[in-house]
Structure 1
Amino acid sequence: MLLYCGGMVTASAGSPEPSPRAVTPTVETVLAFVNTRADGSGRRELFADGESFGAWLAEHDAFGGETVVTDADAAVARELRDALVTLLLAHSGDEESLGEPLLRAERHLRRVGSLYPLATVVTAGGVQLASPQAGVPRVFGTVLAAVATFAQSGDWGRIKACRNPPCHFGFLDRTRNGGGLYCSTGCGSQVSMRKHRRRQREDAAAQAPEA
């Protein structure tokens, strides 16, 4: 079982492995962080500045709760979040996120990993990844610990971002074959409708008489 507790992500020894379709606390931690961006359909930017980032932290004890933050901290949070979203879009096979965008995101995450290193805590009950830092660095370390712990389960590719632009909402793909591309049937329907309309326009253009 994977547990989250006060800045630590724990893999408990002797517990059965979670189903790849189970939303574990580590998944919840990752999704809570990445699903903070504005999407053009009603969801607002929650990391717009220090004030909004601080308000979000005050409501999320899993990240350490209320913490003094600045506009610069909010900018770092956005950069980390957006890099993760690019990876999750790559998990969904989003072509625009592959290539150079993905390489930039991976390079950024390597830099973040060096700035917010994790401590390994070994006990008789299991092995824990924890941020040894305090304040805002602990927030970013908590995100990295959740990512690292879940990735070790072998199901990292099941955390995806919706391929329907501009949604890109993070979700856990709980389909049997891991082939989910959209966060909801609504988003899937929107993409299908856009494709249908595009085909209609292309067919109409092809059938139009030449001037």
Structure 2
Amino acid sequence: MITAASGSPQPTARTVPPTVETVLAFVNTRADGSGRRELLGDGESFAAWLAEHGEFGGETVVTDADAAVARELRDALVTVLLAHSGDEESLGEPLLRAERHLRRVGSLYPLATVVTADGVELASPQTGVPRVFGTVLAAVTTFAQTGDWGRIKACRNPPCHFGFLDRTRNGAGLYCSTGCGSQVSMRKHRRRQRQAGDAPPSEA
């Protein structure tokens, strides 16, 4: 259950809202070139991951087909988070496809609004794997209402694309770490050097 109470904490350099933690936990299950392994590769690995994450409902019986649906949802979210980082390859048609997919997912896993004296909560009324997907959607919806949805980004350093919360004052962060930023800068530097080396000599 994801809470959207009026007193919800705002992102700071020291705190990450539970909704953001939920979104990032889900999107950061993908493999990359730096050693992170795929955590939703099949039903067995998906079930093992869920057993370690109580916020998604804990242990749940899942199938390989469920894992495939989870990867599709995750990849659509990663595309949106890359768009938040201004990644050019994710804009245009890739982003439109991701948004269409998220609309379909939203219709398949609707959320319930729970009103109490302490605030309003979004929760999935379903059980099992559908509850997992509903929990992700509830977290996205709740945090987006704070106006800071654009601060959840995916690292622009390929193939990292690690999800992170941009805590910079002006919201201009592009990379999940200084290491990724340095890698991109180095690649650009080397590319400029190659281009300079390939340039024909200027006439005197």
TM-score when normalising by structure 2? 0.96
Q: Equivalent of 1:67, from 55, 60, 78?
A: 60
Residue 100 in 1 paired to residue 93 in 2?
A: yes
Q: Give per-residue Cα distances to partners, 1:94-146, cap 9 Å, x unaligned.
A: 00000000000000000000000000111111111000000000000000000
Residue 19 in 1 paired to residue 11 in 2?
A: yes
Give the direction of change, closer, same or farther, for the CA distance of 1:176–1:113 in structure 2 (3 Å limit): same
Provide the alpha-carbon RMSD of the alignment.
1.4
Q: Which amino acid aligns with 1:95?
A: E
Displaced runs of 4 or more, over 4 A: none
- Matched-pair contact (CA < 8 Å) for 1:164–1:187: yes
Quick one: distance in 2 between partners of 1:173 and 1:116?
A: 28
SS of residue matched to 1:121: strand
Shift of 1:55: 0.3
Q: Equivalent of 2:116, from 103, 119, 123?
A: 123
Percent identical among aligned pairs is 85
Quick one: distance in 2 between partners of 1:62 and 1:142?
A: 8
Residue ranges of structure 2 left out of the alignment (5+ in a row) = none
The number of aligned residues is 202
Give the direction of change, closer, same or farther, for the CA distance of 1:174–1:161 in structure 2 (3 Å limit): same
TM-score when normalising by structure 1? 0.93
Quick one: distance in 2 between partners of 1:32 and 1:207?
A: 50
SS of residue matched to 1:41: coil
Q: Give per-residue Cα distances to partners, 1:177-201, cap 9 Å, x unaligned.
A: 0000000000000000000000000
Deviation larger for 196-205 or 18-27 = 18-27
- Matched-pair contact (CA < 8 Å) for 1:57–1:64: yes
Quick one: distance in 1 between partners of 2:94 and 2:121?
A: 32
Residue 177 in 1 paired to residue 170 in 2?
A: yes
Residue 78 in 1 paired to residue 74 in 2?
A: no
Query: Partner residue of 1:189?
Result: 182
